[in-house]
Amino acid sequence: MFQHVEFFAGDPILSLNEAFLADPRPEKVNLSIGIYADDQARLPALDAVHQAELRLAAANTAKPYLPSEGASNFRGAVQALLFGASHEVVTSRRAATVQSVGSSGGLKLGAEFIKRWFPGSGVWVSNPTWDPHRAMFQSAGIEVREYPYFENGGGVCFDAMLSALDALPAHSVVLLHACCHNPTGADLTRDQWITLIDLLKARQLIPYLDLAYQGFAEGIEEDAFAVRALAAAGLSFLVANSFSKSMGLYGERCGALTVVCPDAEQAERVLGQLKATARRTYSSPPIHGGQIVAMILTDPKLRGPWEKDLERMRTRIQAMRAQLHAALVRRHPAGKFGYLLTQRGMFSYTGLSAVQVDQLRDEHAIYLVRSGRICIAGLNTSNVEIVAQAIAEKLEHAR
């Protein structure tokens, strides 16, 4: 019956994580998957999340099906987080927001929407980008192409990026990382965002923002700059955001898709079509995680501690960047490691080759993605010197 079904080789990052978990070596270090760990290499349970869960359990409320668009309190809290509660986009009701199964689910809903209502539009993603981006749009039947974004040793190649986007047909979709670019950690400056937004508007392109790491670059408000700048420029755009990292709700799959429209009437049309897509895909989103998010975002007694925890996570990542940089400079003075201090968020591109990455795994039990991407959040005070020593050895041998 199923002999014609092809084998699935596995997702490269998830398969690497599985290999790490099966590795018996006690000194192993996981710098592959994008999960925040504390200094004891544990996934922290945030107190605000715990308190919200206790309240939900004490309320002992029923668990009905949510509407296809999700819970209204969650959706409203998402809009306030992205734009600010008093922002014109919110008060004029011209944003259509649906609760999704993680931001991955939001990205996929947006892909299906684009295929249906902008059938001639292709999607352009950065080179490089998060691996599943391409597959999500291709599986919706959309042609996916790349625009230049990053050069090892050179950072963002902004002029080449602008030149490529300036040549796109009107209504082309441009996927952009709002902050903490995955996989490179190299972000646009605010001035570059303003220049880019002017081009997007002039060329009538459709921005699609992926915002999975709000709060991990500079702060909650600061990391919403691109979203709010697009809105201020009067553009219509899509943004998928997530609470997996910022609240440690990885397995709860809490995310949203928001489409900013020219007016409330168009937003209502868009919301209806997103509801229809959700209904025929997974019917409705899960209730528990979304209510945790809504409670934390709207209750000052929970939001304050959450923001402090998020700040601690951000500053710990920054400290690990500084420690790894210092350790590498001591061991390999000829190397150029300044990127560790300028790139932001959980990831950095190291420039290590696939062969060197394989050697780090086989010889030192240090797991990286074969592109050379390193998850800075997997470093801690117990392993950073070990990792630096192993990387320095590989770089010395390559000279």
Tokens representing residue 95 in the block: 């944003």
Q: Catalytic: which of 124, 223, 245, 275?
A: 245
> Residues 390, 29: contact at Cβ < 8 Å?
no
210 as an active site residue: the answer is: yes
> Residues 149, 183: contact at Cβ < 8 Å?
no
39 as an active site residue: the answer is: no
130 as an active site residue: the answer is: yes
* Separation CA 345–CA 183 (nearest Å): 10
- For the chain, the straight-line distance linking the first and the last C-alpha, in angstroms and rounded, comes to 54
**For residue 225, how many other CB atoms are within 10 A of its CB?**
17
* Three-class DSSP labels, the chain: CCCCCCCCCCCHHHHHHHHHHHCCCCCCEECCCCCCCCCCCCCCCCHHHHHHHHHHHHHCCCCCCCCCCCCHHHHHHHHHHHHCCCCHHHHCCCEEEEEEEHHHHHHHHHHHHHHHHCCCCCEEEEECCCHHHHHHHHCCCCCEEEEECEECCCEECHHHHHHHHHCCCCCCEEEEECCCCCCCCCCCCHHHHHHHHHHHHHCCCEEEEEECCCCCCCCCCHHHHHHHHHHHCCCCEEEEEECHHHHCCHHHCEEEEEEECCCHHHHHHHHHHHHHHHHHHCCCCCCHHHHHHHHHHHCHHHHHHHHHHHHHHHHHHHHHHHHHHHHHHHHCCCCCCCHHHHCCCCEEECCCCHHHHHHHHHHHCEECCCCCEEEHHHCCCCCHHHHHHHHHHHHHHCC
**For residue 85, how many other CB atoms are within 10 A of its CB?**
12
Q: Catalytic: which of 187, 210, 223, 309?
A: 210
Q: Catalytic: which of 108, 124, 130, 275?
A: 130
The residues annotated with a catalytic role in the active site are 130, 210, 245
